[in-house]
Amino acid sequence: MTLALRHRIAAAVTALQAVLIIGVLWLLHALAQGAIDRQMEAKAQALVQTVGEVSRAALLRGEYDDLQPYVERLTADPDVVRVRLADRRGVIVVSTLPAEVGERLLPPDPTAPGRYRTISEIRNVAGPLGSLAIELSDAALRGAYERTRDLALALAVLGILAGGAFGILTGRLLTRRLEALADATQQLAKGNFDVSLPTHGSDEVAALSRLFNHMTQSLRSHIESLRRSEEQLRTAQRMEAMGRLAGGVAHDFNNLLTVIQGHCDIGLLEVEAMPDVREDLLAIRQAGESAAALTRQLLAFSRRQVLQPRVLNLNELVTGTEKMLRRVIGEDVRLVSRLQEQVWLVRADPGQAEQVVLNLVVNSRDAMPRGGTLTIETSNVVLDESYAQRHPGVHPGEYVLVAVSDTGEGMDAETLARCFEPFFTTKKEGRGTGLGLSTVLGIVQQSGGHVGAYSEPGRGSTFKVYFPRAADVVREEGPRVEPVPALPTGGTILVAEDSEGVRRLVRQILERRGFSVLEARSAEEALEAARRHPGPILLLLTDVVMPGINGREMAERLRAERPGLRVLYMSGYTEDAILAQGLLRGSIDFIEKPFTTFALERKVAEVLGRREPGGVDPPA
Amino acid sequence: MQLATASASAGEPPRTEYTLGVFPYLSAATLEDVFAPIASQLGRTIGRPVHLATTLNYDAFGVKLRAGEYEIAYVQPFDYVAYAAPAGYVPVAASRNVIRAAIFVRDDSPIREAMDLRGKTLGLPARKAAVTYLARQELLLLGLAPGRDLVLRHFNSHQSCLQQARIGNVDACGTAHEIVRMFERQMKTRFRAIRELPPIPPSVFVVRGDVPERERLAIRTTLVSGDLPGIPSEARDLFGGEVVQGRTRYFRDVDDREYDVIRAYLRRLGENP
């Protein structure tokens, strides 16, 4: 059985006190016994001396009549039990018990309890005169001592009881705060992190309470941080799921749009003399372009779009777009730019970065329907480990911050939590697609950056975009715009595309330009078709990712068989963007789905018109 | 608890031992101081224990003397004549001092001579003491009749008599000179003699007649030779000690005829020895 601490303290105090009291009583008892013995011994010695002196003359004279009353009076002292005087022959001549006179003086019984006995010889230089036997009893003295002892015992028992009560009280006083600490700990274990303990005093328990409060405060902070992180993680996971969905939809939609727009372009060429049909086809084409813009935003959000990053200065980007931004925000909103000098360079797609700034500005403008101030700021910042821990997905390092603030309506917490979700909007129907901020998020994250939003209802919002500082600071020139050569006619082009609609469209476009087209539904079919084709192949136009062998591997195999084979990649598949980024770094030619007839013809003409060493010269 | 157990005599069979009886002319304590060393020395000489004994008064001593209870006794001359000699005791040695007694008063007393004792109280030792015999005879010669001209009060010892005179219970005390000198030293007081009494032969050591001759001679030799270690200085005054050849000799040889004068006294007082 485990005793409570206060009971153990009470028991310990009581036991200690009992031991001390018993020890003291035992010591006093021993001292009293010694004192009684010494008292009786001294008394016996005094009696021996006194009675001995008085008896000496009687023994010399042999006359004891005067001595007998004297000895009998000694028994008035309660300690004196018996006094006997014997002559030198050992015959009792005087005794407190007169009947003993005439008897021989025998040694006393040493086993009789409570008696102090002594026999002293009375003598002079001539020899013994007689013997004096005195017996004393310590009964009176011991009785007085025992009464005192009993009183002391009673007081001791009271003392022990009082000690026990004191121990219980002390234990209760001491453990009350410990119990409070235990209760608080239990509440903490149950998840109540708001529990706190009083910390008055300066003793150990107060120090422990302060440590406990510090611990709960720290736990609260950590748990709050954990909750925020979990919320951010959930948001990120939700965004990731939405991104995958949007990316998948956009990919399939792009293939469809490629077919729709392609055939629409072909149709427009066929209906020059049919104005009504042409109007209809133009309407279809315009809708297709709108749909293509929408899918680009979806791809941007899903971070699956094809980026062409370059080293750039965000101050220059903001300055360069300022005129356009002023037109966008209107006259009721004042635009303020605060750009830090010597801002670091970043690596990002200039067009997409511009899209980020534009989307944020438009969002801020819409938050200030009655006008206000819109502030664009840039600055160099360093995000440390602590910041990175509080913001999952952020890597510590150097960033360039672009902050767009408004003095508009602001957002409540729920709105702020969902503002980056695609198609989430608080604007009236028809005023926004709900893809502006999600596009910003996708572009920035795809660029290795980070986005933060801060808002207070009625006071405005601030969106902060962090682009990572470029590791290599060499400014890159923009792509050289070369004149597109005329599209050659004739020759064989191998088209590898798993989408039948896209494959058929590409075949129609190329055949209209006089090319012979070898179709393949997969890389394996393309390789087989190339082996069976005895003549030269001007160009391999291939999707990047196909079932089985991907487009790049297939192209490399074909180049091994046909050195100098020109390759043009096309992609609308969601994961193409990742591969595409690697391909672009290798200066690979690429066309993004959906493409128009003109765009495909122009890209094919560009690839075939470039002179490359070892390449197959296109037909004239 | 047993404090001490020591008894040389209790429970032991009595050995053949002698008793030295001393007549009670001094307090028991004084007698023990003076005569216990003598008894001890006599015991060593004769090879058997000699114990000291006395009595409460002269009458008791006389009874025991007549009964022959003491093998050795130190008796005053009247007891020798009246009891010891008739009982067969043989004198072996006597104090070197004759008994010189007087009637003493306190030094500051107005009493100047014996006749001033008329109407006064005279303290004396026991009725059978030698000084009592001498004082009664002297009062008779002076024409002072006890009971008519003065009151006589007897005390157990000479010291008691002197003590009563000192505190004023009696006006004068008849006692021996040597006892007065000892008392004066002990009590830091002074007495003055107003009437000298005639000297008589000293007290005497006697030996019972059945004591073997060899022991009697040994006792005599011991007493007379002065080889008595342990006797206190007071004894010199009591016995008239004399230093001879480096030894203090207290006693001398004695002859029964020296005590005929005592026998004469007794006849004059009407007491036939």
Kindly tell me if the per-residue pLDDT of A615 is higher than 50: no
Query: Residue A487 and residue A603: Cα distance in Å, rounded?
Result: 9
Smallest CA–CA separation between A115 and chain B, in Å? 6
In this structure, of A12-16, A611-615, B218-222, the range with the lowest mean pLDDT score is A611-615
Task: Find out whether A108 and A99 touch, Cβ atoms under 8 Å.
Answer: no
Q: Residue A30: what pLDDT?
A: 86
Residues A218, A398, A418: CA angle, nearest 5 degrees:
60
Q: Residue B93: what pLDDT?
A: 96
> Phi then psi for A494, rounded to 5 degrees?
-90, 120
Q: What is the dihedral of CA A128, A131, A132, A138, to 10 degrees?
A: 120
Query: Residue B37 and residue B2: Cα distance in Å, rounded?
Result: 32
User: If you average pLDDT over residues A389-410, what whole number do you get?
Assistant: 87
Q: Within 13 A of A319's CA, how many CA atoms are on the CB side?
A: 9
- Cβ atoms within 10 Å of A15's Cβ, excluding its own: 14
User: If you average pLDDT over residues A6-33, what whole number do you get?
Assistant: 82
Residue of chain A whose alpha carbon sits nearest to that of B38:
A126
Residue type, B60: A
Query: Residue A314 and residue A311: Cα distance in Å, rounded?
Result: 10
Residue range A48-60, pLDDT digits in tens: 888 888 898 899 9
Instruction: Please indicate whether, in this complex, the C-beta atoms of A128 and B9 are within 8 angstroms of each other.
Output: yes
Kindly tell me if the per-residue pLDDT of B46 is higher than 90: yes
Measured CA distances, B215 to B95, B220, B226 (Å): 20, 9, 17
Q: Is B229 on the interface with A (CB under 8 A)?
A: no
Query: Residue B194 and residue B197: Cα distance in Å, rounded?
Result: 10
Residue range B132-164, pLDDT digits in tens: 989 998 998 999 999 999 999 999 889 999 999
Kindly tell me if the per-residue pLDDT of B271 is higher than 80: no
Q: Residue A376: what pLDDT?
A: 93
User: A399-424 burial by CB neighbour count: b if 16+ within 10 A, else e?
Assistant: bbbbbbbbbbbbbeeebbbebbbbeb
Across the beta sheet with B101-106, what order do the strands follow? B151-154, B121-124, B172-176, B101-106, B191-196
Q: Is A399 on the interface with B (CB under 8 A)?
A: no
Query: Residue A576 and residue A556: Cα distance in Å, rounded?
Result: 17
Better-predicted residue by pLDDT, A370 or A163: A370
Query: Residue A60 and residue B22: Cα distance in Å, rounded?
Result: 10
User: If you average pLDDT over residues A94-103, what whole number do you get?
Assistant: 90
Q: Residue A576: what pLDDT?
A: 47
Classify A523 as helix, strand or coil. helix
User: If you average pLDDT over residues A61-84, what whole number do you get?
Assistant: 88
In A343-426, the DSSP E strands lie at: 345-348, 372-383, 397-406
**Mutating which of A43, A49, A60 best tests the B interface, going by the most B Cβ atoms within 10 A?**
A60
In chain A, what residues touch B4 (CB-CB under 8 Å)?
118-120
Alpha helix (H) residue ranges in A62-106: 67-74
Query: Residue A364 and residue B254: Cα distance in Å, rounded?
Result: 163
Smallest CA–CA separation between B264 and chain A, in Å? 31
DSSP conformation class of B256: G
Q: Is B7 on the interface with A (CB under 8 A)?
A: yes
In chain A, what residues touch B25 (CB-CB under 8 Å)?
none
Instruction: Please indicate whether, in this complex, the C-beta atoms of A126 and B14 are within 8 angstroms of each other.
Output: no
> Phi then psi for B209, rounded to 5 degrees?
-65, -25
Task: Find out whether A467 and A346 touch, Cβ atoms under 8 Å.
Answer: yes
Residue of chain A whose alpha carbon sits nearest to that of B50:
A126
CA B151 to centroid of chain Cα atoms: 24
Task: Find out whether A590 and A502 touch, Cβ atoms under 8 Å.
Answer: no
User: If you average pLDDT over residues A95-119, what whole number do you get?
Assistant: 82
Q: Residue A479: what pLDDT?
A: 53
Residue range A174-210, pLDDT digits in tens: 777 778 888 888 888 888 888 888 888 888 778 888 8
Better-predicted residue by pLDDT, A334 or A590: A334
> Phi then psi for A248, rounded to 5 degrees?
-60, -45
In chain A, what residues touch B36 (CB-CB under 8 Å)?
124-126
Q: Is A115 on the interface with B (CB under 8 A)?
A: yes
Q: Is B5 on the interface with A (CB under 8 A)?
A: yes
Does the reported pTM lie above 0.80? no
- How many CB pairs lie under 8 A apart between chains A and B? 112
Q: Within 13 A of B76's CA, how many CA atoms are on the CB side?
A: 27
In chain B, what residues touch A131 (CB-CB under 8 Å)?
7, 9-10
Q: Residue A241: what pLDDT?
A: 75
Of A117, A120, A128, the CB nearest to B2: A117
Q: Within 13 A of A19's CA, how many CA atoms are on the CB side?
A: 6
Classify A159 as helix, strand or coil. helix
Q: Residue A614: what pLDDT?
A: 47
Name beta bridge partners: A539.
A493, A566
**Mutating which of B5, B9, B46 best tests the A interface, going by the most A Cβ atoms within 10 A?**
B9
User: If you average pLDDT over residues A544-573, what whole number do you get?
Assistant: 85
H or E element: which one contains B216? helix B213-225
Task: Find out whether A362 and A321 touch, Cβ atoms under 8 Å.
Answer: no
Q: Residue A482: what pLDDT?
A: 56
Those residues whose C-beta lies under 8 Å from the C-beta of residue B208, and which sit 6 or more positions away, are B68, B70, B71, B72, B73, B87, B88, B89, B90
Residue of chain B whose alpha carbon sits nearest to that of A109:
B2
Smallest CA–CA separation between A77 and chain B, in Å? 19
Instruction: Please indicate whether, in this complex, the C-beta atoms of A62 and B55 are within 8 angstroms of each other.
Output: yes
pLDDT classification of A473: cutoffs 50, 70, 90: low
Helix-, strand-, coil-residue percentages of chain B, each rounded to 5:
40, 25, 35
**Mutating which of A91, A103, A104, A125 best tests the B interface, going by the most B Cβ atoms within 10 A?**
A125
The token duo for B175 is 């006692």
Instruction: Please indicate whether, in this complex, the C-beta atoms of A126 and B52 are within 8 angstroms of each other.
Output: yes
Of B3, B52, B60, the CB nearest to A63: B60
Q: Residue B216: what pLDDT?
A: 95
Q: Residue B121: what pLDDT?
A: 96
pLDDT classification of A431: cutoffs 50, 70, 90: low
Of A89, A105, A130, the CB nearest to B14: A89
pLDDT classification of A618: cutoffs 50, 70, 90: very low
Kindly tell me the sign of the dihedral angle through the C-alpha atoms of A105, A111, A117, A118.
positive
Better-predicted residue by pLDDT, A200 or B272: A200
Q: Residue B237: what pLDDT?
A: 72
Query: Residue B271 and residue A228: Cα distance in Å, rounded?
Result: 147
Q: Residue A302: what pLDDT?
A: 66
Kindly tell me if the per-residue pLDDT of A584 is higher than 60: no
Whole-number percent of chain A with pLDDT over 90: 17
Q: Is A129 on the interface with B (CB under 8 A)?
A: yes
Kindly tell me if the per-residue pLDDT of B179 is higher than 70: yes
User: If you average pLDDT over residues A476-484, what whole number do you get?
Assistant: 55
Q: Residue B39: what pLDDT?
A: 94
Smallest CA–CA separation between A122 and chain B, in Å? 9
Q: Is A89 on the interface with B (CB under 8 A)?
A: yes
Name beta bridge partners: A463.
A404, A453
Output the average pLDDT for chain A.
Answer: 82
Full 3-state SS string of A270-327: HCCCCHHHHHHHHHHHHHHHHHHHHHHHHHHHCCCCCCCCEEEEHHHHHHHHHHHHHH
Q: Is A38 on the interface with B (CB under 8 A)?
A: no
Measured CA distances, B130 to A136, B80, B184 (Å): 46, 10, 21
Query: Residue B52 and residue B231: Cα distance in Å, rounded?
Result: 14
- Cβ atoms within 10 Å of A586's Cβ, excluding its own: 7
The token duo for A330 is 């209107």
Residue range A254-307, pLDDT digits in tens: 778 888 888 888 888 778 778 888 888 888 888 888 787 777 777 776 666 666
Whole-number percent of chain A with pLDDT over 70: 90
Residue range B61-99, pLDDT digits in tens: 999 999 999 999 999 999 999 999 999 999 999 988 888
